[in-house]
């Protein structure tokens, strides 16, 4: 199929799966990974099933192996690699991990959470020339803070609004994507929208219809899209959702990032879940935090 304007990323942690999707679509622009997806990698699952647990160093080594295998399969949207963080992780600690991860492959994007420490880490990272992706974004205010915190960068920065997890709490996650995109139309273009937590074909089509910059999609949904012959949304496409609409907010992107309300229960929950999935792979003696 011909390359679309919206960049397509595989949301996963298995190089073989990425390869299969690449063959199915003819290309993929990039990949996103996270601690839960890495814990679900077939090789890591096999190790855990055999009763083997990893040290922190072994976990990092496995993660590096995975992204090194994926890296050559994908295009210029790169491979997003997520730092381990929980409530207590400082920006400096995140940046130390981020720099290490960034050195693994030539097309890395370091993923930091949309928290105050994550935003500080992102600022320090872009100042040092690293490409970054701000994850666990659940509000327009968080996206505005990402914009403000990363202003003046050369490489584009990604912000990842999570659609499915907002739907899970009865809010229309596609509205957040739409609102962030609308807000960024007034910006300088350094921040790109990477729609994440995509669960259905309908959501993928809505991302195309909204013309989002990038969308990361599980192999299951991309396979379904391929099986249906790669349908595209008609001009009068309507996204059906019974969830509560998320209203657009007028926000001033020239304000410092600290002025935005970046707290969100799902960001806190998401961090906990990523940390728990990461720790599941570790031997008790290696458990951090
Ligand atoms: C990608 O960057 C995100 O980590 C991923 O899309 C989250 O998806 P989920 O909400 O289905 O776990």
pLDDT at 285: 56
Which residue in the list 5, 99, 111, 244 is annotated as catalytic? 111
Low-confidence ranges of the chain (pLDDT < 70): 285-289
Q: Is 202 exposed, middle or buried (0-12, 13-18, 19+ CB in 10 A)?
A: middle
pLDDT at 2: 87
Q: Which residues contact 235 (CB under 8 A, 6 or more apart)?
A: none
pLDDT at 49: 92
Q: How many other C-beta atoms can be found within 10 angstroms of the C-beta atom of residue 93?
A: 15
Measured distance between the N- and C-terminal CA atoms of the chain, rounded to whole angstroms: 46
| Distance from the alpha carbon of residue 216 to the mean position of ligand 1, in angstroms | 8
Look up 228 and say whether it is catalytic: no
pLDDT at 154: 85
| Distance from the alpha carbon of residue 161 to the mean position of ligand 1, in angstroms | 9
11 Cβ below 6 A of ligand 1:
yes
List, as one string, the DSSP characters of 178-218: HHHHHHHTTS-S-EEEEEB---SHHHHHHHHHHT-SEEEE-
| Distance from the alpha carbon of residue 66 to the mean position of ligand 1, in angstroms | 17
> Which value, in Å, is the radius of gyration of the alpha carbons in the chain?
18
Helix and strand tally (H, E) in the chain?
A: 12, 8
Q: How many other C-beta atoms can be found within 10 angstroms of the C-beta atom of residue 16?
A: 14
157 closest CA partner among 177, 135, 176: 135
Residue pair 215/195 in contact (Cβ under 8 Å)? The answer is yes
Claim: this prediction has a pTM higher than 0.85:
yes
pLDDT at 289: 47
**Ligand 1 mutation pick, 80, 136, 158, 216, max ligand atoms within 8 A of CB:** 216
pLDDT at 30: 98
């Amino acid at each position: 199929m011909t390359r679309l304007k919206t960049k397509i990323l595989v949301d996963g942690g298995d190089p073989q799966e990425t390869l299969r999707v690449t063959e199915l679509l003819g290309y993929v622009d990039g990949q996103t990974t996270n601690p839960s997806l890495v814990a679900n990698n077939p090789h890591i699952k096999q190790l855990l099933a055999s009763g083997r647990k990893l040290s922190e160093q072994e976990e990092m080594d496995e993660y590096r192996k995975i992204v090194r295998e994926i890296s050559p399969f994908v295009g210029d949207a790169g491979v997003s690699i997520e730092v381990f963080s929980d409530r207590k992780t400082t920006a400096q600690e995140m940046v130390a991990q981020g720099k290490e991860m960034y050195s693994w492959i030539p097309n890395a994007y370091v993923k930091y959470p949309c928290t105050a420490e994550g935003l500080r880490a992102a600022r320090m990272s872009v100042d040092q020339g690293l490409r970054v992706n701000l994850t666990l974004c659940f509000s327009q205010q968080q996206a505005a803070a990402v914009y403000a915190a990363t202003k003046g960068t050369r490489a584009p920065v990604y912000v990842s609004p999570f659609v499915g997890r907002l739907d899970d709490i009865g809010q229309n996650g596609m509205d957040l994507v739409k609102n962030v995109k609308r807000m960024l139309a007034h910006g300088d273009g350094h921040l790109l929208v990477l729609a994440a937590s995509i669960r259905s074909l309908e959501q993928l089509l809505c991302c195309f219809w909204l013309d989002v910059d990038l969308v990361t999609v599980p192999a299951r949904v991309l396979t379904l899209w391929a099986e249906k012959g790669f349908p595209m949304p008609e001009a009068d496409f309507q996204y059906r959702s019974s969830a509560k609409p998320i209203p657009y907010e007028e926000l001033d992107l020239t304000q410092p990032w600290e002025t935005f309300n970046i707290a969100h229960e799902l960001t806190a929950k998401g961090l906990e879940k990523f940390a728990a999935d990461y720790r599941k792979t570790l031997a008790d003696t290696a458990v951090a935090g």
